Structures are given as structure tokens and as C-alpha cells.
Amino acid sequence: MRGVRIVFFAVAAMTLVTPVLAQPSIHASPFVFDPGKTGTVMADWVKQLGLPDPLGDSNYGLLLSKNAFTTTNAASFVDIRGVKGIVLSDLGYDVRSGGHCGAGAPRFNVVTADGVTHFIGCNSPLPTSGAVPTTADGATTGWQRLRWTNMAAAFPPIAPGSTVQSIFVVFDEGVDIGPDFSGMVVIDNIDVNGVLIGQP
């Protein structure tokens, strides 16, 4: 995975799909890792930053930001809870245009039951599909829908039948990484086996 920067820490209504709403047993909990109290990272659900929510009109988007160089020991995280013991068939999210979508961030860190951590970055490996979501009237939304259904494309590959111990989304590439040099991204509709998480 050329160009991937891996940082290890103590924590190891749209027309393209019909969403399966996340149940309380599976949800996304954002948090930051900032042991030096740099104050340069943020992870939070923010109203009106995301795509339309199936329930309500808050339109939450998940903002992940690192306003520092990549070498700064800090990162934004999303803990995908309620996934222990599942076998993955697909992962993904929708990413808002203008933010950072690199080989290493935002990325999925999938820890399988054997203790191995597997990486799937925003642009490495290439997604199985990368459609542009549209509204009910067919207008484009300024978002791209990224989905990975070939778990063997992860680094290292996730073997067929492997069960999951944990899943995190990690954002640890900062303002020194191009091509956007933004140090931030907004994602929505985190997809785990067809279950979409689009709000807190």
C-alpha cells in the first residue's frame, strides 16, 4: 500500500440504495486521541453537514479533523460499536466533496478475531463502487458513495469467514497531506454489511 501512513495508538432519502437503519446495537461513537492536549483534532456528529437523514431533518454529518501536521501524535476516531462477531460482506461511507480522501485517511481499521488489524483507506484499495448519490429529484449532492465488498483487498487481506473483533474509522492525516491539504473530511452513512449509520 504505497503512500499509506499508518499510526498505531493505544486503541487498537437517496435513490441509489434503500437504507437499512442502524439499530441501537450498532452505532458510531466519535472520539479523539490527543495525549499531548494539542487541541488540533475533532470528531463529532454535526447538524446540517450531512445528507438527508431517514429520521428527522437534522441531516447529520460526521466531521473528522486534524488541524496539524500528520506527525502530530493526535487523531480523530469513530468507534463502530455492536460489530463484534460479525463476518464482513461490505464496508463504506459517503464522503463530502472538498475534504481529504487519502490512502491512509479516513480509513477503516478492522481488527479480526485473530488480533490482526486490517486497513481500508479512502482511496486505497480502490472501492468496489464509487457512485454519486442523488436526491429524489435526481440532482447530484456533492458527495461520493464509496463501498468495498472485496474484503480480500484490505491490507492485509481479510480471509473469508473471518469474524470481527472491532472496527474503527481513523483520521490521522493532517494539513501537510495533499492533494487537498485540508486536514478534514465529512462522512455520512457509514455502511457495515448494508446497515447505514447516518446520525448519532
- Domain of 39, CATH number, reads 2.60.120
Domain-located, residue 47: yes
Domain-located, residue 8: no
Domain-located, residue 122: yes
Domain-located, residue 82: yes
What average pLDDT score do residues 36-54 get? Answer: 94
Q: Determine what percent of the chain falls in helix, strand and coil, rounding each to the nearest 5.
A: 0, 40, 60
Sign of the alpha-carbon dihedral angle for 99, 88, 117, 33: positive
Q: Quickly state the pLDDT bin for 178 (edges 50, 70, 90).
A: very high
Q: Report residue 143: phi and psi, to 5°.
A: -125, 160
| Distance of alpha carbon 87 from the chain centroid | 18
Domain-located, residue 9: no
Amino acid occupying residue 104:
G
Number of structural domains in the chain:
1
pTM: 0.84
Domain-located, residue 3: no
Question: What are the tens digits of pLDDT across the range 91-135?
Answer: 999 999 999 999 999 999 999 999 999 999 999 998 887 777 666
Domain span including residue 193: 20-197
